[in-house]
Amino acid sequence: FIIGGMCAGSVTSLASLPVAFFGFVLCALLPLIGRFLMAGNDMAQMMAGMLFLFLCMVLSNGIRIYRNTRQNIELRMQSQMSEASLAESEERFRALFEGNKSVELIIDPETGCILRVNPAAEAFYGYSNAELLALNMSNINTLSKEQLKSEMELASSEKRDHFLFKHRLANGDIRDVEEHSGPIYWQSQRVLYSIIHDVTDRVRAEYVVKHNSEILEMAALGTDEQTIYDAICQMYEAIHPGMRVSILRLKGQQLFHCSAPSLPDAYCEAINGVEIGAAVGSCGTAAFLGERVIVEDISTDPLWADFKELALAHD
């Protein structure tokens, strides 16, 4: 009974070391089985049989515990290796994300919340990291919330990965951007990983080339002058948001309204017949001197002293 109890205890204490376990159990029980068999009486034979069954049970339990222990160790090692690999992968991603010169954002496609940004995004948008993380893409993208949600659904479902948007900067400027966006898993969450390039200059250049060709074609086809001048003004207003363009015609020593599609008629009519001179606004002075004149603030510049009330009255 004492030796049997020691063998039973060895199942938990030695099973993880199979050689030591088998050696101990066999050396402990086989001599007892042999002794009972050699005794020759029925009781001894029965004891030998019971002891043999006990041996089989102990060895079976030991093998089972050994396999479970080994499996647990292997799983733990695999988990540690996976964690190490994941940490290495995350560190590599962080280095690429933080060091990339392109604007990069990680976005929650369900809410549009910005989850992570790189330094290039801070420099482009003019917000700090904390300010960007407090924003939603609807605060940046000029699309309506419904349109933006629809576009993010296309990116999230991988139906499209290339987009052209207009993004609003911290200072209010609107920039044309080309966005490549697709789903990834980040921190156990399916998110959108977006790479953004500023293509404002390219879009404006393409617009100018296209509309210059149209204006030249209008001239070649004999289109009336007013339509051509209006098209020139509208082209420059389109590529410089917020600008309002006018063209004045010089007849003798006087300026006359020619085209200003975004300026009030009352302002344009007030210009008609103004004589050019050394301090007659920007255009009158430029025509008088024969050189370009730039005024940054008509409310304070002396060239606009006689005309600022008229201009300011029309915003």
For 200-228, write each residue's pLDDT tens digit. Answer: 989 888 888 988 899 999 999 999 999 99
- Which range among 2-16, 115-129, 177-191 shows the weakest confidence by mean pLDDT? 2-16
Given a cut of 90, whether residue 45 has pLDDT beyond it is no
Which residue type, as a one-letter code, is found at position 21? F
pLDDT value for 65? 84
Looking from the CA of 146 toward its CB, the CA atoms found within 13 Å total 0
Alpha-carbon gap, residue 257 to 255, rounded angstroms: 7
Which of 312, 293, 313, 314 lies closest to 303 in space, CA to CA?
Answer: 293
What's the rounded Cα separation, in Å, for the pair 13 and 9?
7
Residue 295 has pLDDT above 80, yes or no: yes
pTM of the model: 0.55
252 φψ region: left (φ > 0), alpha (ψ -120 to 50), beta (else): left
pLDDT at 88: 67
- For residue 86, pLDDT over 70 is answered with no
Q: Name residues whose C-beta falls within 8 Å of residue 286's C-beta, 6 or more positions apart in sequence.
A: 292, 293
Query: Which tokens in the block code for residue 209?
Result: 């080339």
Per-residue pLDDT at 101: 86
Q: Which residue has the tokens 């949600």?
A: 149
Q: pLDDT band for position 171 (50/70/90)?
A: very high
Q: How confident is the model at residue 169 (pLDDT cuts 50, 70, 90)?
A: very high
Q: Look at residues 35, 28, 34 and name the one whose alpha carbon lies nearest to residue 55.
A: 28
Average pLDDT, the chain: 88
Q: Residue 80's pLDDT band (boundaries 50, 70, 90)?
A: confident
**Of all residues in the chain, what percent carry a pLDDT higher than 90?**
46
